[in-house]
């Protein structure tokens, strides 16, 4: 198990991005959370098998239909936190 943190920039707030991430993460069996940041970005922390985390990263690069992703910063091996399920904060 591994944990990553992503900060996604672009048109990602107000376009159901966090719900998209939650639905994708649940399908992939990941735990963690997605939340809006004050600067207009979305932060995602996810924990699970490396292959499933890579799938989540690829999905976030596209995002939901109304989103426009400009940049994703991924930090790997961040300090693991305990999460049960995947929540929207």
**Rounded distance between C-alpha atoms, residue 28 and residue 17, angstroms:** 16
Query: How many distinct structural domains can be found in the chain?
Result: 1
Q: What is the mean pLDDT of the chain?
A: 94
Q: Report, as an integer, the average pLDDT of 54-81.
A: 91
Show Cβ contacts of residue 46 under 8 Å, excluding neighbours closer than 6 positions: 3, 4, 6, 25, 30, 31, 32, 53, 56, 86
Q: Is residue 89 part of a domain?
A: no
Q: Is residue 13 part of a domain?
A: yes
Residue 83 has a pLDDT of 74
Contact 1, 50 (CB under 8 A): no
**Rounded distance between C-alpha atoms, residue 38 and residue 42, angstroms:** 9
Residue 81 has a pLDDT of 67
Determine the structural domain holding residue 12 and report its residue range: 2-80
pLDDT tens per residue across span 29-58: 999 999 999 999 999 999 999 999 999 999
CATH number at residue 18: 3.30.70.100
Q: Specify whether 73 is catalytic.
A: no
**pLDDT tops 80 at residue 79:** no
Q: Is residue 7 part of a domain?
A: yes
The active-site residue out of 9, 35, 36, 73 is 36
The active-site residue out of 18, 58, 68, 73 is 18
Q: Specify whether 36 is catalytic.
A: yes
* Beta bridge pairs of residue 7: 43, 73
């Amino acid at each position: 198990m591994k944990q990553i943190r992503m900060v996604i920039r672009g048109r990602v707030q107000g376009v159901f991005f966090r719900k998209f991430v939650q639905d994708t993460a649940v399908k992939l069996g990941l735990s963690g959370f997605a939340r809006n940041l004050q600067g207009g970005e979305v932060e995602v922390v996810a924990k699970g098998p490396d292959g499933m985390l890579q799938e989540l990263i690829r999905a976030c690069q596209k995002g939901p239909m109304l989103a426009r992703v400009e940049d994703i910063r991924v930090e790997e091996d961040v300090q693991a936190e305990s999460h049960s399920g995947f929540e929207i904060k």
